[in-house]
Amino acid sequence: MSASSLPLPALLQRASAGDEAAAAELVAAYEPEIRRFVRFRLTSPSVRRFIDSVDVSQSVLARFFVVVQSGDVEITSHSQLRGLLLTMANHRLLDHVRRQHAARRDGRRLAGNEALEWSPAAGKTPSEFVSERELFEMLLDRLSEQDRRLVEARLEGHSWGELAKRCGLSAEAARKRVTRALDKAAAGTKLVK
């Protein structure tokens, strides 16, 4: 029996069990609509400069397959699945917009940051780069605001001593705080095995 002749619940079950043909059919059926949805809503030139409808749709579909695999959602109809995917796309797009408009994500600062841009010299495919960036963003989303600021400051090259001054701790305590926060967030996003 091919995946295309299966009812939606059976197709989702096969995709969650690792059937690549079923997953590919779901992606082929819903990705174009997600991309159209995002392109229609992606009106800010400052945000459009840093994200693309493909990035958002891939992120949505990746998260969707994680949710389906966990068994947290029961989907019985195509309209229900379409609604879920478009809602996820809308939330993901709003997250990107909020992140780009936040003071700490000033687009002028990001423009020259080569670490955020894919390059062939990095030794990774574009999809590997996007996947790693998505995982890192998920990790940052799980941090408290104060811990996020500390991690971002450390990534910008600030020393442990500088971070310690920001939060009124010793350099060693600041290092431990950042390490523990990242470990806790990684465990929550299933990045740690």
**Up-side HSE of residue 106: CA atoms within 13 Å toward CB?**
5
pLDDT over threshold 60, residue 108: no
Assign 113 a pLDDT band (cuts: 50, 70, 90): very low
Same structural domain, 26 and 79: yes
* 124-129: average pLDDT: 68
Report pLDDT digits (tens) over 2-61: 345 678 888 888 888 888 888 889 999 999 999 998 888 877 666 677 778 888 888 888
Answer yes or no: is 116 within a domain: no
Same structural domain, 133 and 176: yes
Cα 92 from Cα 59, distance rounded (Å): 8
pLDDT value at residue 111 = 43
> Alpha helices of the chain — where are they, by DSSP H?
8-16, 20-41, 45-48, 53-70, 78-101, 107-111, 126-141, 145-155, 160-167, 171-188
Same structural domain, 149 and 87: no
**60: domain range?**
1-106
Same structural domain, 89 and 8: yes
Three-state secondary structure call for residue 3 = helix
Same structural domain, 129 and 171: yes
Answer yes or no: is 117 within a domain: no
